[in-house]
Amino acid sequence: MNNFSVSKAAFAGFGLLRKRPVAALVWTVVAFAFLVGQGVLCVVMAGEAFQVMNEMQTSGDMDMTSYMAVASETGTFSAVSTVLQIFVSTLLLSAVLRALLRPVEGGPAFIRLGAQELKLAVVVVVVGILTTLAWGVVFVIGLIATAILGGATRSGPIAGVVGGISLLLATATGLFFNIKFILAPPQTAHDKAIRIFESWTLTKGYFGKLLASMLLTLLVIVLAGGGLILLGILFAISQNEVHDPMQVMMYVTQPGFTMESMLSPARLVSTFAASLAWIIAMAFGLGLAASAYQQITGAEPVTSPISASLEDDDDDDDDDED
């Protein structure tokens, strides 16, 4: 087993941001453009429906039938927004992994649109579905156990304890799957071929160290992201868009669904802060995955055209053997 440095994996994002500041700025601008565009699209396609739903929620007198009827009007926007979210996220994910593992390919901030992005999209979607299914199965079993024990014992506290344990087990299951599949995106990016279940084998014996690295990385992301969001809120307060602490969460989670609100200076600053937090999270999350992949397999970044050509030939040979 290779020596695995927890700190090297956890803080690999620092190295990426220090080495590729211009690329990181471009990624942030792309994320910002997407989030602003998503807000504008929301206003155009479903602004009135969301506004009515917001008023129903805050009024305290909500008829569920009426609420669901209004919510159904947002379905088209939600579908379009989800597709765009997957597209932009995959584009950025591929660019970050390319900067980490295949810098020889370059391009404007390592952003490209081609077969590699499609492969990564497949990997992300499949891993997401498998992880969600595993979490869901454990959670549903927990709900059934809670209902059975609650009915048998007629004890609310016991049912509550069982429900809490079930939620913890479901969360642990999701975390387990995330760690076991953590090498799938970087291996797919490095090999330029879909790699999903290989990660399950490669991570054997490294679970504890990967978990420690993930927790350290999560701490950095929370501190950095929380700090950026706080700065955005403070700016909103300075612009008199948020007047008291009770409005803070409403401002962050439920903005006014009008074009004026979406494009206000305070909202744009908050959105840019959220975009930067998004890129920092990707840099550290994917930096962790790429560093772990390199440490475990001994793979090196592709930095020269010659090595890239040799690796592509090897991939072709593997495909022929298959």
**pTM (predicted TM-score):** 0.80
| Alpha carbons 143 and 139: distance in angstroms, whole number | 6
For residue range 28-46, list pLDDT tens digits in order.
999 999 999 988 888 888 7
Q: What is the pLDDT of residue 166?
A: 80
For residue range 2-18, list pLDDT tens digits in order.
689 999 999 999 999 99
Please name the residue ranges forming H helices in 60-193.
64-71, 75-101, 115-153, 156-180, 184-191
- Between the CA of residue 189 and those of 115, 116, 141, 259, what are the distances in Å? 11, 7, 36, 39
For residue range 70-83, list pLDDT tens digits in order.
778 778 888 898 88
Confidence at 154, pLDDT banded by 50, 70, 90: low
Q: What is the residue-averaged pLDDT of the chain?
A: 81
Q: In this predicted structure, which of 60-64, 85-89, 225-229 has the lowest mean pLDDT?
A: 60-64
Q: What is the pLDDT of residue 293?
A: 94
Terminal C-alpha separation, the chain: 28
| Alpha carbons 144 and 163: distance in angstroms, whole number | 9
Whether the pLDDT of residue 92 is over 90: the answer is yes
Q: What is the pLDDT of residue 289?
A: 94
Whether the pLDDT of residue 195 is over 70: the answer is yes
Of residues 160 and 65, more confidence is placed in: 65
Confidence at 312, pLDDT banded by 50, 70, 90: low
Q: What is the pLDDT of residue 310?
A: 44
Cβ contact 300:294 at 8 Å: yes
Residue listed under structure tokens 């997401």: 128
Whether the pLDDT of residue 118 is over 80: the answer is yes
Cβ-based neighbours of 54, under 8 Å, separated by 6 or more: 254, 257
Q: In this predicted structure, which of 180-184, 191-195, 305-309, 316-320 has the lowest mean pLDDT?
A: 316-320
Among left, alpha and beta (phi > 0; psi -120 to 50; other), residue 110 is: left
Q: How far is CA 11 from the centre of its chain?
A: 18
Q: What is the pLDDT of residue 319?
A: 46
